[in-house]
Amino acid sequence: MITIIMAEDHQMLIDGVKSFYEYDEEISIIDTANNGDELVKLVTLKQPKLVITDIRMPVMDGIQATKAIKKKFPHIYILAMTMFDQPDAIKQMIDAGATGYILKNSGIKMLSKAIFAVTKGETFFDPNVAFNFMNDYIDDNVTVGESQNIILSNREKEILQLIADGKTSKEISENLFIAKTTVDTHRKNMIRKLNLANGNELIKHAIETKYKF
């Protein structure tokens, strides 16, 4: 069972997440907090497997709370759930000790995916966060294409593989639990990065490099 304490200053969001996982057999929200100071106290008392925290909160923000928790309990995983997608905010949370970062508008399926990934010891970053930040700070989330020497994000590599399998943008979005518009944006970014002319050339490239990543 993945035990979780969630910190969020909007009670409606807390209630929604708690309600979704109320009868889940693998995930349990054991307590909640409305500010960072309260979060640290609850974590000290109950020591969950995972903490989900917002960044901007009263009394103590999520960055300071994360630092305090990781200093006392380095084994506890931290997942940031916020509206901020700016590189500086992401970097501050990573430096504080978070290994996951998800945007609040990504939906509950993405949250579940993040929870399972982070508690397995993996890093998880919302596909909608800035690609430039991924290149600068998250080495294990980027892959260099052998033939092109072009840096593709882990998500782009994943989408490229699905394109090679003949998947449409709609099918890819359903497979990866992301919006179709996000898939289309990744397609456009890959066409630009790989210096391709159009979507047909991207499909051809995907098929040709399917087993090279």
Taking residues 50-78, report their average pLDDT. 94
pLDDT score at 146: 38
pTM above 0.85, yes or no: no
pLDDT score at 189: 85
Give the end of a domain, one of 108, 133, 158. Answer: 133
pLDDT score at 147: 37
Indicate the average pLDDT of the chain: 84
Whether 20 and 70 share a structural domain: yes
**Structural domain contains residue 213:** no
pLDDT > 90 in the chain, percent: 42
Taking residues 84-108, report their average pLDDT. 84
Give the end of a domain, one of 133, 151, 170. Answer: 133
Whether 45 and 118 share a structural domain: yes
**Number of other CB atoms surrounding residue 27 within 10 Å:** 20
**Structural domain contains residue 100:** yes
- pLDDT reading at 126 higher than 90: no
**Structural domain contains residue 125:** yes
Query: What is the C-alpha to C-alpha distance for residues 6 and 172, in angstroms, rounded to an integer?
Result: 30
**Least confident among 39-53, 108-122, 195-209:** 195-209
Backbone angles phi, psi at 74, to 5 degrees: -60, -20
DSSP string, the chain: -EEEEEE-S-HHHHHHHHHHTTT-SSEEEEEEESSHHHHHHHHHHH--SEEEE-SS-SSS-HHHHHHHHHHH-TTSEEEEEES---HHHHHHHHHHT--EEEEGGG-HHHHHHHHHHHTTT--EE-TTS-HHHHHHH-GGGEEE-TTT--EEEHHHHHHHHHHHTT--HHHHHHHHT--HHHHHHHHHHHHHHTT-SSHHHHHHHHHHTTT--
Whether 91 and 146 share a structural domain: no
pLDDT top residue among 56 and 143: 56
Encode pLDDT of 156-211 as tens digits. 888 998 998 888 999 999 888 888 888 988 898 888 888 888 888 888 888 887 65
- pLDDT reading at 65 higher than 80: yes
Encode pLDDT of 131-163 as tens digits. 445 555 544 443 333 333 456 777 888 899 899
Whether 13 and 107 share a structural domain: yes
53: domain range?
2-133
Burial of 58 (0-12, 13-18, 19+ CB in 10 A): exposed
Give the end of a domain, one of 117, 133, 149. Answer: 133
List the CATH number of the domain containing 15: 3.40.50.2300
pLDDT score at 67: 96
Query: What is the C-alpha to C-alpha distance for residues 115 and 107, in angstroms, rounded to an integer?
Result: 13
**Least confident among 22-26, 49-53, 103-107, 113-117:** 103-107
